[in-house]
């Protein structure tokens, strides 16, 4: 097994519980880690034998831009559902989302939600 990592995808979204978050929006960053078999594509050198990270990026970007949730947890689950549905070579996926503009008191860089799902149980 190998890992494909796509780090720090950035989007401007309208996710959040508060009306201001849905109206004004805020930036988020997403990290993806996909566990895939890489031995065969490493030998054949054919993109069709692996998971195209360009296609993963395009599909996740379209999903994030076209969905709005109250909770970042819901966005994480939605992205995992998308990966499971579209990319059958992925055996395990981890999605992390960082939200930088959270309306709460305190000094912090961001909040982060992470979930890992095993697709090949």
Q: What is the pLDDT of residues 37-67, one digit of tens each?
A: 999 999 999 999 999 999 999 999 999 999 9
CA angle 110, 85, 95 (to 5 degrees): 15
Range of the domain at 60: 2-118
Per-position DSSP letters for 31-62, written without gaps between them: EEEEEE--HHHHHH--GGGS--HHHHHHHHHH
Q: Whole-model pTM?
A: 0.93
Model pLDDT, residue 61: 97
Q: What is the pLDDT of residues 80-105, one digit of tens each?
A: 999 999 999 999 999 999 999 888 89
Which residues 6+ apart lie within 8 Å of 102 measured at CB?
Answer: 108, 110, 111
**9 phi/psi in degrees, rounded to 5:** -65, 130
Q: How many domains does the chain have?
A: 1
């Amino acid at each position: 097994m190998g890992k494909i990592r796509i780090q720090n995808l950035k989007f401007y979204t309208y996710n959040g519980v508060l009306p201001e978050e849905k109206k004004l929006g805020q930036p988020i960053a997403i990290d993806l880690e996909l566990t895939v078999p890489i031995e065969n594509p490493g030998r054949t050198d054919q993109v069709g034998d692996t998971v195209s990270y360009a296609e993963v990026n395009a599909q996740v970007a379209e999903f994030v831009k076209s969905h709005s949730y109250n909770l970042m947890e819901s966005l994480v689950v939605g992205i995992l559902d998308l990966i499971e549905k579209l990319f059958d070579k992925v055996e395990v996926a981890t999605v992390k989302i960082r939200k930088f503009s959270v309306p709460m008191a305190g000094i912090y860089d961001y909040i982060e939600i992470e979930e890992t799902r095993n697709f090949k149980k």
